[in-house]
């Protein structure tokens, strides 16, 4: 069913996904746009896209995400210095991504052009409004610098702190660790496992 634009902006739409945990029978929901460029099928259906058009839009977002992540990597450095005002006990690494407004704007323009060719300007405007919060995962098309600090809690769980967002800290699963931190995490895990084996 195609929704009126006024209603579309007021409701939350998510694709249902099965929980990975067998003992947990609750339904999990995917976001409107993931960090790897997967856009919600339900969201596109409510805009009146058929299967063919939806597939084209999805492909455009996937290609955008891939190009964005490559560009992001070229603007990212990893260091062992902590941001001012932050203290961490134990091992850590800091990732700093500088802003790349012009290049990011070029990617956004290319993405919008590809989407508009499939679903017209009006529906693309509605989609962009709906996805506004989701583009934060892409630093708003590279317009913002971003700093991340990876560290560990006393139990060895992986933590990511966002100094740019009031030092918000979140627990992340191993498969959610940003690419630039993965070698560090693997090395840290190896040392931890070695230390455990050496305990009499």
- Rounded to two decimals, the pTM is 0.77
2: DSSP letter? P
Residue 15 has pLDDT above 80, yes or no: no
> pLDDT per residue over 32-46, tens digit each?
899 899 998 888 888
- Among the residue ranges 15-24, 73-82, 107-116, 155-164, the one predicted with the least confidence is 15-24
> pLDDT per residue over 51-79, tens digit each?
999 999 999 999 999 999 999 999 999 99
Q: How far apart are CA 189 and CA 24, in angstroms?
A: 28
pLDDT on residue 7:
45
> pLDDT per residue over 106-143, tens digit each?
999 999 999 999 999 999 999 999 898 899 999 999 99
Check: CB of residue 18 under 8 Å from CB of residue 7: no
pLDDT on residue 195:
62
Q: How far apart are CA 99 and CA 79, in angstroms?
A: 17
């Amino acid at each position: 069913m195609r929704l009126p634009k006024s209603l579309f902006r007021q409701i939350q739409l998510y694709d249902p996904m099965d929980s990975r945990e067998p003992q947990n029978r609750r339904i999990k929901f995917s976001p409107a746009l993931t960090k790897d460029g997967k856009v919600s099928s339900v969201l596109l259906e409510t805009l009146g896209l058929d299967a063919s058009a939806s597939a084209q839009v999805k492909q455009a977002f996937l290609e955008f995400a891939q190009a964005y992540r490559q560009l992001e990597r070229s603007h990212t450095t990893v260091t062992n210095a902590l941001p001012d005002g932050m203290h961490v006990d134990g091992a850590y690494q800091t990732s700093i991504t500088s802003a790349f407004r012009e290049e990011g704007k070029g990617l956004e323009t290319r993405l919008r052009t590809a989407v508009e060719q499939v679903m017209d300007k009006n529906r693309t405007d509605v989609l962009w409004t709906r996805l506004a919060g989701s583009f934060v995962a892409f630093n708003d098309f590279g317009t913002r610098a971003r700093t991340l600090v990876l560290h560990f809690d006393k139990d060895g769980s992986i933590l990511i702190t966002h100094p740019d967002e009031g030092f918000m800290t979140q627990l992340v699963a191993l498969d959610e660790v940003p690419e630039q931190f993965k070698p560090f995490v693997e090395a840290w895990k190896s040392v931890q496992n070695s230390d455990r084996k050496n305990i009499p």
